[in-house]
Structure 1
Amino acid sequence: MISYAECSARERLALLLDGGSFHEWLPPGERVMSPHLAQLGVPSAFDDGVAIGRATLAGHPVFVAAQEGAFMGGGVGEVHGAKLVGLLQRALRDRPAAVLLLAESGGVRLHEANAGLIAVSEVMRALLDVRAAGVPVIVLIGGANGCFGGMGIVARCADFIVCSDVGRLAMSGPEVIEASHGVEEFDSRDRALVWRTTGGKHRWLTGDCDALVEDDVAAFRAAAIAAIGASRPLTLAGLEEEHALLAARLRMLPADSEGRDEAALLWRALGIDDAARVPELSVDAVRALRPQRQVTGRSSRCNGIR
């Protein structure tokens, strides 16, 4: 068992994909780097924190991108985002079996705020174009930095999300919430609270990810292979249905839930009687807990895939 969280981006690519099949576009030797960081006196990376290219997965041709969490927390800047957009646009042209995004990011780099925000919006548009063309986009989340900010939105735009029990997915990161609303609202140093509200187990129970796996590269590989055929149509009716289901989920919380453990309250509302034990349960045990009738817009395409 090899920990996915402890691997670098390129280690994940080497272990996840078919051996020797990854061909990188714009590798570090090309030195396509951010034009902004050096001007601010910030160290740069020759690949700008993301590796993109083509490969095979169980013999299927795939395009893949892997964000490097060790470089600026996987933050998205102008070049980083442009590489993701270019990968997706090429997928629209070449139609691989799937696009894999190994996401590990705290969101947009503050050093390149406007450029990064524009880049994320372009990534979302390109991703939806790829999905509309029938090419499934599969997001794998299990890095130490989680998947937050703009990349959290990108992930939820995808066809299929695989998350480990140590992975995290949310819009705003814990530190951002605390900085904006105070420690009383959210204590970013409370690791148990952070994982209860953004971790993989919570995302599985609420239907925000499609497969919950162990922190193991082999488990991620198996889930990615199973998800290659997980494309689903993009329709207005589907979007409206998901919005209605999310609103219904919000209404499930008691009126006096503020200041209480909202994750556990939601788990109880979903029919999990011993909700307090969820964080200590194994991945297999948590997978078995997900209610048959759940308030989520993703359940119809999760069944049967682990």
Structure 2
Amino acid sequence: MDGFDADTAPYLLPTEHPWEALSRMPLNGRRVLTIAGSGDIPVFLASQGPVSLEAVDVSRGACFFTELKRAAYRHLPRREFLRFFFAGTACSPFLLKNAENGIASRPPGRWSLYRTVRPDLTPAARHFFDARITPNADETNPFVQFLRPTDVFHASLFPPAIREEAYTIWARGARRHFSIHCCSLEDYLAETPSCFDLIYTSNVFEYLRIRYVMDASAAAFRTFVRSFWESLHRALAPGGCAVFYLYQGHETALFPRLLKELAPPRPMRYKKHLVPVILRPPALSGTVWRHVVVLFEKASPR
């Protein structure tokens, strides 16, 4: 996609909220493939007990950020985690007040916290963050550049940021091993010999759709979707689910068109399930965001 490639900057917070939908899925002992994103979704999925988990992302920065998030969840209490990533950002007043919980002692600074998590990073990730997290990082948050304008509202909806029990679940997932691959999802699907019970594609479909709408013809987009589904179908176990996150409510005029464009070819025999996501950001009184998690379940052998 134009502007979304190996050099794309990572982002600090997820703007998708599939947590409830994914928590309903029986993943214990299953094999999972997911987009890495901000690192939080792989960590959450790892907490659900899969026997294996692979995270992929076309952005090198996103892969490094996934390493950093995993290490931070592993080693930092929630209060220190939030201070490490969010102190000095527009999100900090709400998040840090929420995490203090009457604790008066001053936690270690960002530089000290980075030295705690740094041993868990690969050499490439250390190189990436060593250039950004320096001794003066206590004065200026180096992660501000990875925050998008609406993140201040998504932060107040992100479970481990606002609830200690959710943070405990994410931290448990971070202690489980998973591999991180820097490549596009479509390339990984085309080449992997593995077979998965769940493939979480995040909102990759919408990104790719925008690229083809802007740069290519509708016919080229249909050809890509067919090829994408052929690779996905081959890598998905019978009875497994391919999961897509759409930033559209199912009642919008665009949603039926998106769903039609996204659907797998009929001969593949998938069952479709829609899980509405309703979000009410506390800082935007009266505002409701409506998204949909779309699950395509592959037919099991008769």
TM-score for both structures, normalised by structure 2:
0.30
Higher strand content, 1 or 2? 2
TM-score for both structures, normalised by structure 1:
0.30
